[in-house]
Every structure is written in structure tokens, then in C-alpha cells.
Amino acid sequence: MNKSQERSNHSSSANSTPTMHNVSDTFYTSQRKGSHVFRVRLDATGFTLQRESPSGVTIKEQTVKLCDIVGARCMRLKKTSRSLARCACVNPGTPAAGAAGRKGATPSKCSTASKEEDYGCDGGDASAYLYLFAYVLKKKSLRSSLHRERTVLTLRFRSFDTFEDNMREADRWYRALRWQLHNTLEEIFVDRLDESRRRRALVLLNPKSGSGNAREVFNMHVAPVLNEAEVPYDLYVTKHSNYAIEFMSTRRLEDWCSIIAVGGDGLFHEIVNGLLRREDWAKVLDSIALGIIPCGSGNGLARSISHGYNEPYFSNPVLGAALTVISGRSSPMDMVRVQLKERVMYSFLSIGWGLISDVDIESECIRMFGYQRFTIWTLYRLANLRTYNGKISYLLADKEASSSTSQAATEQSQQLEELRKLQSSRSCNMHIDKLASDSYARRSIEYLPQEFEDVISLETSINQSFRSRCDSWLSGGSRRSCYYSISESVYHSLADESEFAQQSATATAAGLEHFGPSSSLPALDEPLPQSAGWQVEEGEFVMMHAVYQSHLGIDCHFAPKSLLHDGIIYLVLIRGGISRPHLLSFLYNMSTGNHLPEKNNEYVKVLPVRAFRLEPHDNHGIITVDGERIEFGPLQAEIMPGIARVMIPK
């Protein structure tokens, strides 16, 4: 079969047979050191580039794995000598390629020789370019930890005489890639009615979270990834405390397939509680996956998700989270139903009473010390140790049920781990353009095409973020880009909110009735039946902390065995009378997860439970749920296994 036959076969392959979505071709690079031949293949494993010697022997093979690829764009170069100098690959087999090849053109020669006759078209360069965006796992050195690095693979298509034909070829690769990526996606983003469409994400951003730079973080580091992955989104900026609760409980949510919190755990808590105030909460939680971009001061959930799936965190938490929310993968997540005297709430992270809650809340007054405030206040509280009197009743987790849930979860995470090991990419150095250098970003601003201006003029900082990234999209300086789905994304921070304001006013007036799953426990003021297996600890406590994520904060590995969906609340009790060195060692080791005793002792107990009741005997103190202070008083909590879905890394 000759090349043109092969090509026409590929072109007519718009059907769903997997192998028909494998595309391959031969490309050439012309560099100062000489020309190279590459066999490039796209299949279910990813992009494979084989470099061949002139005699046809494979010298080197490298693969960008599919799981590391987020998306692609087809582009046309603007006709400038500078942009032409950036060409990466030349497709052979045409007179044009032959001419370029014969001239042994280096990129710069190529650009100066970019006359019409060279390309045989009226507008200059008739090539079409495919840019492929990937975030590959890398190690700076043997000792350093893994991190993700953005890489852009550029393929130049110039087999045909006209731009349209070359673009059709680039588009064929683009579609093949989209098909392969869709195949690895769950249904989160894939529109059932139109598979080429991506479903929309709802982004809720708290501008006050953490150090107050969530907006910049989103614009600079998250929006570009969403755009590269062609995930259209609607962004809403919260205007006050409880905004997310009102939003989630009153809005129509059918248009969105995922909700992304850009903020801290407090914002996520509001989102969850808003959703569970809906009458259709079960349907919504089933159909919408939740995600978080860590911009808060604690970030326990984001850290737990990355830890659970071995995604590098510390090198770039926001990038890891951004890749997670576009991965299209989700896992069920347990929630805890918390019954207070007057109301019900839902929690995804923790319930605390005593030392840790005191430190969390009381240290607010020294917020200017940043994360150090926790250390400072812990030392202060240790010196002035308080104990609290109360009764804690608990129902141990059903070993069989929870061990099978946790076994399933462990197996799932092991499988994912293996898959990830298999799939983790090696980097391609020669063929992948690293287009992220600042100097190039600056240069690319002048090529910003007008077509994008309506899209990027929404906010000044967005413009900047777009420009700083447009090196990758527009490294050709294109004025005519084929795909720019970002035009679908909408910013609502300044939009007319009157309808929403009206809706939430009505809802608030109605008292925001709670729906959500019903409880299997007796009412809070009723006694607990001993016969059902309830056990009791009573007396003086330094603290009680109930946790259902592995991490309470970025460096607080509080419940190392906890999984997203294991049906277990880890109830940690520290009794009064514990020595200060013992307590100090407990607190110090929380960062590594070595603080919990292997066997429960007189002072420290770790109890895997499915429900508990706290009855403080004092009438003062601090109780927190997901790190936020709630009204002091008795409460009871029970696990609701897997009622929500949270997005996880690929």
C-alpha cells in the first residue's frame, strides 16, 4: 500500500474501531547537526517517537504516555520568518518536503527560504501544526522526588500543497487523540448526546481563602490547564461566607458535570453542605463529581487525594490538583452526617474537640505568622494544657464490612498505582518543544491573535495568564486557530446575580431545610442501646479528633490508614494525665503519620468506628467540623459510605 492510499484509509477512518484510531506517519527534523527521521505513532499507549538512522535502524524510542497527555490543538503558523524558524517536524513524501530536505534546511534556513514557491501556496507556509500538551513525571536527580513538567510536542504537517489539506491531516491526528483520551475518561466530561462535546465544569472560587491569592492561582495555573484539556467551565467568585451553601442549594445544576472548589477545605465544606440541602441531593451527588484546587490554609482534602493516588504534591500542589480535575476519573467518597442539637450538617474531613481544635481556632489571632501559627499555638497550649470532661460513645466499625470495603479500596488504589507505574512517561527531550520559557512567552504576546481577544478580555489577570501560556498554543503566532474551546468558558464574577440573590433569599427565608441521607442512630437526646454494641469512654480528655481522610492538612498525616471510601471514622482519643513529652512526641510526629500507637494504651486510643456520640460535661470549649468552629454542645456522627464522588488523578 502506498503512502497516499494509507493516508486516504486513515482519513476515512471516522468510525469507532479502536485500531482505526491509531495513526502513524514519518516526520523529519532538520537541525544544524543534520536531519533525522522519526516514525511517529499514536495509539492507546500514547505518542511514540522512534528516531531512525539514515539506514533505517531505530536509534531511540520514546513515548509520551496517554495518561500524561491533557489535550492538543491544531494551528497554522503566521507568515513570519521568526515563527517559521520554529518549525519542528517536516512530513516527507511531497515535493515541498523534498525541496526542504534537499536544501538540508536548518530551522533558520527554512524560514529564510520560506518563499511561496517552496510551499506552493499563495499565503506562504501551507503547513498545519499539531501541538500536544502533556505533563510528564520527571525527576530532577536520582534523589529528588517526582514532579510533573509541562511539555509540548509539535508535529508539522506539510505533505500537501494546500493548507486545508494539511490541516485535514493534522485534524485527523487531533481527532484520533481525542478519541483515545475519551476512551480513558469516565463519563464525567463526555457528553452522551454528542461525544465530541465536553460537559461543563462549575468553578467556585473563594478570593479570601488562604493568603488571598486564589484568583491569581486560578488564572495563572488552573485556567490554562482547563483550556488545554478543552474543559469548558463557568467561574463564580464567592462574595461572602455561606455563598457556596446558598449557591449549591438553590441553583439548577444540570448543566455541570463537575464542581471545582478553588479555595480551602472550608469552601469545600460549604459546597457539600449546600448540595445536601437539596431535595435532589442523591441524584446530584451521583451525577456531579467534586474536585478541589488547594488555595486554603489547611488543604487536607487535596493532600489526602494526592497521597491516596501517589500524585506528587509538594513540587506543585496546584498543578497536581488541576490535572486531577481534568482527569475525568472519580472515586466514591465517604461523608459523615453530623447531628447537632438544632441542626444536621455533613462533613468530609474531621470533627474535633479539645487540643487540636483549640489550636486551629485560637491561633486565628496570629494568622500573620502563616502556617507557623499552628506550631506557635501548639507550644503555647502545651505549656498551658487544658483537659475537658465528657463522655464519648462509639460503635466500632463492622470489621468484615469495613475490611471488605477497605480491601476493595486498597485493591483499587494498588491497581491504579500499577497502572500509573506502567504508564508514567519518560520525557522526550529532542522532540518535545519546551515552550514555556519566559522570554518566549514575552515574545509571543505580539502574536496574540485578535480572535482570542474577546475570550481573554474578561479579566486583566486572565489576559496575562493566557499570554504567559499562549507560547504553547500560538507558538506559530497563528491568526487562524482551529480550536479554541476556551471561548465557551464563562466568568460570572461580575455577572448579574439578581436571579440567584432572589432564589437564595427565598431559600434562606424558608430556613434552608435539610435533606440528605437519613440517620440510623437514635435521636441525640435518646439513650444509646448498649445491646447494639455501643462502647463508652468517659472522664478527662486532652482531645478527641475523628478523622476520615488521611491528612488534616498538607503536613498533618493524621490517619495514615484512612482511604477515601473505606466506611471508617478514625476516632483518636487522648486522655488527661498524659505526660507532656508523650504529648509533644504525638504532636511532633503527626507530620509523618508515626504519632499513633500500634496498640492502644492508657492515654492514646485509635478506634475505627462507624458512629460516635460526644457529650461534653463542661459547657464551654471549642468543637470544629472540617476545621470550622461550630456551636458547642453534644453531637453524634455516623459514616455515610461513598455518598459523594470526588475527582482523582489519572
Measured from the CB atom, the residue of 92 and 210 that comes closer to ligand ATP is 210
From the centroid of its chain, how far is CA 284?
Answer: 20
By beta-carbon proximity to ligand ATP, the closer residue of 298 and 354 is: 298
Q: Report which residue's Cβ sits closest to ligand ATP.
A: 264
Residue 238 contacts ligand ATP per CB under 6 A = yes
Sign, Cα dihedral of 343, 346, 352, 357: negative
How many residues make contact with ligand ATP (CB under 6 A)?
A: 23
Q: Which stretch binds ligand ATP (CB under 6 A): 8-16, 204-212, 494-502, 506-514?
A: 204-212
CB nearer ligand ATP, residue 209 or residue 350: 209
Give the range of 165-173, 240-248, 391-399, 429-437 binding ligand ATP by CB under 6 A.
240-248
Rounded-to-integer distance, Cα 44 and Cα 179, Å: 10
Name the one range near ligand ATP by CB under 6 A: 42-50, 264-272, 330-338, 601-609: 264-272
Cβ atoms of 645 and 290 closer than 8 Å: yes
CB atoms within 10 A of CB 429: 10
Q: Please report how close the Cβ of residue 210 comes to ligand ATP at its closest, in angstroms.
A: 4
Segment contacting ligand ATP by CB under 6 A, of 266-274, 505-513, 541-549, 576-584: 266-274
Q: Which of residues 319-358 bind ligand ATP (CB under 6 A)?
A: none
Backbone angles phi, psi at 294, to 5 degrees: -75, 110
Residue type, 550: S
Q: Give min distance, CB of 509 to ligand ATP, in A.
A: 20
Residue with cell 506550631: 375
Considering only the stretches 144-152, 203-211, 481-489, 515-523, report the one whose residues sit in contact with ligand ATP under the rule CB under 6 A.
203-211
Alpha carbon distances (Å) from 481 to 69, 83, 198, 449, 471: 20, 15, 19, 9, 13
267 binds ligand ATP (CB under 6 A): yes
Q: Which is nearer to ligand ATP, 69 or 556 (CB)?
A: 556
Contact 465, 65 (CB under 8 A): no
Q: Which is nearer to ligand ATP, 46 or 263 (CB)?
A: 263
- By CB under 6 A, name the one of 124, 296, 320, 649 that touches ligand ATP: 296
Of residues 100 and 262, the one with the C-beta less far from ligand ATP: 262
For 273-318, the three-class secondary structure string (H helix, E strand, C coil) is HHHCCCCCHHHHHHHCEEEEEECCCCEHHHHHHHHHCCCCCCCCHH
Select from 493, 524, 628, 633 the one that contacts ligand ATP (CB under 6 A): 628
Contact 477, 78 (CB under 8 A): yes
Q: Binding of ligand ATP at residue 209 (CB under 6 A)?
A: yes
- Minimal distance in Å, beta carbon 251 to ligand ATP? 16
Q: Residue 266 Cβ, how far from ligand ATP at the closest point, in Å?
A: 3
Query: What is the C-alpha separation between 448 and 470, in angstroms, rounded?
Result: 8
Q: Toward ligand ATP, which CB reaches closer, 293 or 609? A: 293
Which stretch in 40-48, 72-80, 189-197, 259-267 sits in contact with ligand ATP by CB under 6 A? 259-267
Asked if 482 and 474 touch (Cβ cutoff 8 Å), the reply is no
- Binding of ligand ATP at residue 291 (CB under 6 A)? no
Does 624 bind ligand ATP (CB under 6 A)? Our answer is no
210 binds ligand ATP (CB under 6 A): yes
Closer to ligand ATP by Cβ: residue 250 or 297: 297
H or E stretch at 272: helix 265-275
> Min. distance of Cβ 212 from ligand ATP in angstroms?
9
Give 235 or 611: the residue with its C-beta nearer to ligand ATP.
235
- Residue 100 grid coordinates: 526542504
- Whether the CB-CB separation of 543 and 574 falls below 8 Å is answered with yes
Rounded CA-CA distance 167/128 in Å is 5
Q: Which among 207, 271, 283 is positioned nearest to 245, based on CA atoms?
A: 271
All cell numbers assigned to 497: 446575580
Stretch that binds ligand ATP, among 13-21, 149-157, 262-270, 402-410 (CB under 6 A): 262-270
DSSP 602-622: SSEEEEEEEEEEEEESSS---
Runs of H (alpha helix) within 387-538:
399-423, 438-444, 453-456, 460-473, 498-509
The interface region with ligand ATP, picked from 75-83, 113-121, 295-303, 347-355 by CB under 6 A, is 295-303
The SS3 assignment for 573 reads: strand
95 versus 371: smaller Cβ distance to ligand ATP = 371
Choose which of 263, 274, 312, 608 interacts with ligand ATP (CB under 6 A): 263
In this structure, the chain runs to a length of 650
Beta bridge partners of 535: 394
Cβ distance to ligand ATP smaller for residue 474 or 622: 622
Nearer to ligand ATP, 46 or 264 (CB): 264
Comparison of 214 and 607: residue with beta carbon closer to ligand ATP: 214
Give the interface segment with ligand ATP, choosing from 99-107, 149-157, 238-246, 388-396 (CB under 6 A): 238-246
* Closest C-alpha to 575, from 354, 408, 426: 354
Pairing relationship of beta strands 289-294 and 256-263 according to DSSP bridges = parallel
Stretch that binds ligand ATP, among 70-78, 202-210, 422-430, 444-452 (CB under 6 A): 202-210
Question: What is the pattern of x (binds ligand ATP, CB under 6 A) and - over residues 83-112?
Answer: ------------------------------
16 CB-contact burial (10 Å; exposed 0-12 / middle 13-18 / buried 19+): exposed
Q: How far is CA 221 from CA 150, 326, 470, 542, in A?
A: 12, 13, 13, 41
Which listed residue (124, 328, 616, 627) binds ligand ATP by CB under 6 A? Answer: 627
For the chain, state the CA radius of gyration.
28
What is the contact surface with ligand ATP in residues (CB under 6 A)? 206-210, 238-243, 263-267, 270, 296-299, 627-628
